[in-house]
A and B are shown apart, each in its own frame.
Chain A
Amino acid sequence: MSTQLLFAALVAGSLYALVALGLNLVYGTLRLLNIAHGDLVMIGAYVAFWMLSLLGMPPVLSLFAAAALCGGFGWLIYVGIFRKLLSTPALARRLEANSLILFYGVSVILQNGVSLAFTSTARGYQYLNEVHRFAGVAASGNRLMLLGVALVLCLGMLLFLRFHLFGWSLRAVIERRDAAAVVGVDVDRVQMATICTGFAIAGVAGVLVSMTEQITPFMGFPFTIAALVVIVLGGLGNIFAGIVAGFALGFIETFGIAATSATYRSILIYGLFVAVLLLRPQGLFGKAIQAR
Chain B
Amino acid sequence: MTKLNLDIIGGPLLVLAGLALPFAGADYLMGIAFNLAMWIALTQSWSILSAMTGYVSLGHVVFCGIGSYVFILTNGTLPMPVALACAGLAAGVMALVIGLPVLRVRGPYFVILTFGLAELAKNVIVQIETSLGQFSRLIFDAPALDTLYFIMFGLAVASTAAAVLVRHSKLGRGLVAIRENEEAAEAIGVPVTRLKLIAFVVAAIIPGIVGGVLLLRTSYFEAAQAFDPVISFSIVTMAIVGGMGTVRGPILGSLAFVLLSELLWARFPQLYMIILGALLILFILFMPRGLSGLFERREARR
User: By the criterion CB–CB under 8 Å, are A105 and B280 in contact?
Assistant: yes
Q: Is B130's CB within 8 Å of the partner chain A?
A: yes
Known A267-B124, A267-B127: A273·B116 in contact at CB below 8 Å: yes
- Inside 8 A of A283's CB, which chain B residues have their CB? 105-109
- Inside 8 A of A267's CB, which chain B residues have their CB? 120, 123-124, 127
Binds B, one of A63-71, A107-115, A144-152, A242-250: A107-115
Q: How many residues of chain A are within 8 Å of chain B by beta carbon?
A: 37
Q: Is B148's CB within 8 Å of the partner chain A?
A: no
- Inside 8 A of A94's CB, which chain B residues have their CB? 288
- Inside 8 A of B277's CB, which chain A residues have their CB? 104-109, 112
Smallest beta-carbon distance B227→chain A, Å: 12
Smallest beta-carbon distance A285→chain B, Å: 8
Q: Is A129's CB within 8 Å of the partner chain B?
A: no
Known A112-B270, A115-B270: A284·B120 in contact at CB below 8 Å: no
Smallest beta-carbon distance B45→chain A, Å: 18
- Inside 8 A of B274's CB, which chain A residues have their CB? 108-109, 112-113, 116
Binds B, one of A17-25, A199-207, A274-282: A274-282
Q: Is B177's CB within 8 Å of the partner chain A?
A: no
User: By the criterion CB–CB under 8 Å, are A101 and B280 in contact?
Assistant: yes
User: By the criterion CB–CB under 8 Å, are A33 and B270 in contact?
Assistant: no
User: By the criterion CB–CB under 8 Å, are B105 and A270 in contact?
Assistant: no
Q: Could you say which of A100, A271, A273, A281 contacts B111, with CB atoms under 8 Å apart? A: A100
State the main secondary structure of chain B at its contact with A. Answer: helix
Smallest beta-carbon distance B53→chain A, Å: 13
The B93-151 residues at the A interface (CB cut-off 8 A) are 101-102, 104-109, 111-113, 116-117, 119-120, 123-124, 127, 130
- Inside 8 A of B158's CB, which chain A residues have their CB? none
Q: Is A160's CB within 8 Å of the partner chain B?
A: no
Distance between Cα atoms of A281 and B113 in the complex (Å): 10
Q: Is A102's CB within 8 Å of the partner chain B?
A: yes
User: By the criterion CB–CB under 8 Å, are A106 and B117 in contact?
Assistant: no
Smallest beta-carbon distance A147→chain B, Å: 28
User: By the criterion CB–CB under 8 Å, are A35 and B123 in contact?
Assistant: no
Q: Is B281's CB within 8 Å of the partner chain A?
A: yes
Smallest beta-carbon distance B242→chain A, Å: 14
User: By the criterion CB–CB under 8 Å, are B112 and A274 in contact?
Assistant: no
Which single residue of chain B is at the shortest CB-CB distance from A35?
B112
- Inside 8 A of A140's CB, which chain B residues have their CB? none
User: By the criterion CB–CB under 8 Å, are A284 and B109 in contact?
Assistant: yes
Which single residue of chain B is at the shortest CB-CB distance from A31?
B108
Q: Is B233's CB within 8 Å of the partner chain A?
A: yes
- Inside 8 A of B117's CB, which chain A residues have their CB? 274
Q: Is B256's CB within 8 Å of the partner chain A?
A: no
Q: Is B203's CB within 8 Å of the partner chain A?
A: no
Distance between Cα atoms of A131 and B56 in the complex (Å): 48
Q: Is A42's CB within 8 Å of the partner chain B?
A: no
Which single residue of chain A is at the shortest CB-CB distance from B130?
A263
Q: A108-B233, A271-B120 are in contact. List 9 more A-B contacts (CB 8 A).
A: A101-B284, A104-B58, A105-B277, A106-B281, A109-B274, A112-B270, A112-B273, A274-B113, A281-B101
| Chain B residues with a Cβ under 8 A of chain A | 54, 56, 58, 101-102, 104-109, 111-113, 116-117, 119-120, 123-124, 127, 130, 233, 236, 240, 269-271, 273-274, 276-278, 280-281, 284-285, 288
- Shortest 4 CB-CB contacts between residues of A and residues of B: A283-B109, A108-B277, A112-B270, A270-B120
| Chain A residues with a Cβ under 8 A of chain B | 33, 35, 81, 85, 94, 97-102, 104-109, 111-113, 115-116, 225, 228, 263-264, 266-267, 270-271, 273-274, 277-278, 281, 283-284
Q: List 22 A-B contacts (CB under 8 A).
A: A33-B108, A33-B112, A81-B285, A94-B288, A97-B107, A100-B111, A101-B240, A101-B284, A104-B277, A105-B276, A105-B277, A108-B276, A113-B270, A264-B127, A266-B123, A267-B120, A267-B127, A270-B123, A274-B116, A277-B105, A277-B113, A283-B107
